[in-house]
Structure 1
């Protein structure tokens, strides 16, 4: 069958529209989101603590400790998102529940935008495929920006597709601009790589150029990046200086082939830096290797249904958001590719829906059973990796809390300062400020730290067997609890208020 010219008015045919039977996707989408939230609440939230990056974001707006040092690459969007809860209570459980429910609602909203261009089975498949990935489930209740970039990318692309298909009304224009602004507020670089293909699509498609939509996309990008840029001038001496420092912290931006790193990290590595590990469990990456074939099959299926241009734009935008993490950054984390997974779920869902319809219409139970088994196996692998990641995360944050409790018993109590190895999360759990004398989070000199120790209890953490901190003379050295997270530690209690207090039971190694 020959498809009509991409995105032309003649594409508005009954074959390109959802059937009347599929005109009410909201109950189905709500069901998918309910399962998405339920899995988070049942398997991820209970017993969880805040990870390193989360303590930085949450401490900016409340939580348990003074604001941690905010390094150059970070943006404050996620801090704004968690502020309504973090400002009211330091409870991690309350924050997790809030984010789990909010992410489920946002998933419904992002998919609802597509209801005029995709049939219900494809919409539901998109939500189920994306929501069933272990990184999506793990970061749903997390105070991290990547899932929100993914949902914003899905929403922005949906608004643009609607505009190209049916015209750019005020709703589509404003919606696309707001969605891009949300992504840029969370991660400015992600906002750029999202807006780029969308702006090209509304600028170069013959006969369907939408200058207002292009302006909205660019305006949304600028608005979302504005706080980050303003802070660059206040704290870093300009935008160029902050970009340079951000690049240094990320190991330098340039040609870095990280595809294999991402492949290995799918076994359950939330951060693979440096990614010099072996391929621990190849079964966890089968779906990732098959993703290009599934996407191509979905584009072909969508083309036969009159939705080829929609699938192509979703694919192109998804690939664009993946480019910097696959080829420009020298390390890997599964969360980096969440925007790409959200958008590639659209053509993959087209392919799965086509396979299901074909096996059903041909009355081939074997084909339907094979498809069901493949999807069940995929979901089983995702839940297995999720269980592993949650277990490791809980063990790590429990050790952070144990070390913080030991410091509190040693007299390092608020107001206090913690420096050294793993100081950022441990200081958060102890209720202290974190101040580093070197590294990415350097914010104080050793001399100033010693001066500060004369006024408030101050501890410097060092790994067992590691070198003592500069100027450690006169300090009291105490071993701290060991575990699966940061490992055995010693603390150097600097001369000052903390050293005059008696050591307690938390001194055992």
Structure 2
């Protein structure tokens, strides 16, 4: 990798101040993109949405009126710290969603703002729009999941890295690099590793960047962000190596797993593809995915000709690095896994598209064709987003009915729910969730029977699954169907005795929380 003098040489104080003023004046369009992104979330995703399974696990850790669900080895608590100020005050999902929508819009603005001295504002606005226009980005903006925050933190950290490389006196950029990597590590420690690797390599291979401070900032950020996860490994998981082994087992044993085709199929709106043996019904949803490599290469070539190669090549390499575990090492797919890659690759993509747009202007036919392609892309994204958001609203109603029915039958706090979909049902019913096996195993059958002696316990079974032997003699309750699955039933311990009046009151409480 070579570096141009424009990046290697730091600007003078006067040039730096003048550049900041010009960049700030032209930053209106990126700011407008961030505002539009927030509005899209508030209008299309937030109303009526309920918590997903993973979200419920994270929220339950800090919710003021819920039992904490089992926290498995791969998870990190960064996103729980992010939502704690809201969950300490209210259990309203709408308030939590609105808070995250506003915060993610502000995060996108901050991540783009760091790049204002490195790339023109129109290119940044286009990059922000390309990333924020994806259905995945809009859907996960107000969700209690770490992947979008990893994406924004990575975009911020790479921008700070390049600013520090461009201007050795920019200590604020080095502090931002340390903070950005720490933030990513707090959300997902493994992602921070894949982010830091290409940045450390660039700092070592490019002669003009070869100095200790950027490397120290990277190392300090990774150490600070990973520290809570490592400490928790020794406190709750039997040590770091034990936690890493268990995390690998839960994720299907990390190793060589080519999951490119799984990621493509998941773009059809599948939030988790495990196993990903579904048919590829709507190939049009992945057209942009196949065009992305060509646009990235185009952007890198354009940047090279404009003597801005490093500014575009570094985020490209970082984005590809962060995709490695999710397309080569994990045998399943979820569109959210690649959000950090999409955020970083949006920069070279926007650079290439901006050059194509300038070449087409003012030819009406070429401009019209580009506008039509962009409109078609956004239309496809909206269709998938609308379908995914509708499923979330349907799930909210269905799980609320199940929790309300359990409450009517006497499953009220303090209580325990086990079995199929126990995490979400337990959270809505105000119960603890405990599993007797699987990845989330946290109690033995004998231990669950012991709990049932003095509190209501419900074991949920779906479809043709057999009744657990330890529930013999317990009452059987037919539960309302959940989307895509029928014949749900619960086996209720003798302590669960229905009282209709209190059950109706509990139903109102459940629906309010949901």
TM-score (norm 1): 0.94
Offset, 1:10: 9.2
Offset, 1:225: 0.7
Give the corresponding residue for 2:356.
355
Q: Distance in 2 between matches of 1:145 and 1:357?
A: 37
Change (3 A) 1:489 1:168: farther
Q: Is the 8 A contact 1:75 1:187 kept in 2?
A: yes
Number of equivalences: 499
Secondary structure at the aligned position of 2:208 is classed as coil
Give the corresponding residue for 1:292.
293
Give the corresponding residue for 1:56.
57
- Counterpart mapping for 1:96-245 below 5 A: 96-167=97-168, 169-245=170-246
Give the corresponding residue for 1:451.
450
Secondary structure at the aligned position of 1:90 is classed as coil
Change (3 A) 1:201 1:396: same
Q: Is the 8 A contact 1:480 1:491 kept in 2?
A: yes
Offset, 1:418: 0.3
| 2:484 aligned with 1:493 | no
Offset, 1:18: 7.8
Give the corresponding residue for 1:484.
483
Q: Distance in 2 between matches of 1:152 and 1:263?
A: 25
Q: Distance in 2 between matches of 1:173 and 1:22?
A: 20
- The Cα offsets for residues 262-318 of structure 1, whole Å up to 9 and x where unpaired, read as 000000000000000111100000000011000000111112222111111010000
Q: Is the 8 A contact 1:396 1:485 kept in 2?
A: no
Q: Distance in 1 between matches of 2:186 and 2:223?
A: 9
TM-score (norm 2): 0.93
Change (3 A) 1:402 1:367: same
Q: Distance in 1 between matches of 2:161 and 2:471?
A: 59
Offset, 1:154: 0.1
Task: Indicate the RMSD between aligned Cα atoms, in angstroms.
Answer: 2.2
Change (3 A) 1:113 1:3: closer
Q: Is the 8 A contact 1:437 1:445 kept in 2?
A: yes
Q: Is the 8 A contact 1:19 1:119 kept in 2?
A: no
Secondary structure at the aligned position of 1:207 is classed as helix
5+ residue gaps, structure 1, are: none
Q: Is the 8 A contact 1:6 1:309 kept in 2?
A: no
Give the corresponding residue for 2:27.
26
- Counterpart mapping for 1:293-312 below 5 A: 293-312=294-313
Offset, 1:457: 0.9
Q: Distance in 1 between matches of 2:309 and 2:241?
A: 41
Q: Is the 8 A contact 2:10 2:168 kept in 1?
A: no
Q: Distance in 1 between matches of 2:434 and 2:463?
A: 20
Offset, 1:23: 5.3
- Counterpart mapping for 1:463-474 below 5 A: 463-474=462-473
Q: Distance in 2 between matches of 1:87 and 1:10?
A: 46
Q: Distance in 1 between matches of 2:92 and 2:21?
A: 46
| 2:371 aligned with 1:372 | yes
Give the corresponding residue for 2:384.
385
Q: Is the 8 A contact 1:359 1:367 kept in 2?
A: yes
Q: Distance in 2 between matches of 1:155 and 1:258?
A: 27
Q: Distance in 2 between matches of 1:389 and 1:253?
A: 28
Secondary structure at the aligned position of 1:144 is classed as coil
Offset, 1:9: 2.7
Give the corresponding residue for 2:512.
none
Give the corresponding residue for 2:251.
250
Deviates more, 1:218-227 or 1:58-67: 58-67
Q: Distance in 2 between matches of 1:25 and 1:486?
A: 52
Offset, 1:499: 4.1
Q: Is the 8 A contact 1:64 1:429 kept in 2?
A: no
Offset, 1:486: 5.1
5+ residue gaps, structure 2, are: 508-514
Give the corresponding residue for 1:433.
432
Q: Is the 8 A contact 2:123 2:354 kept in 1?
A: yes
Q: Distance in 2 between matches of 1:230 and 1:253?
A: 22
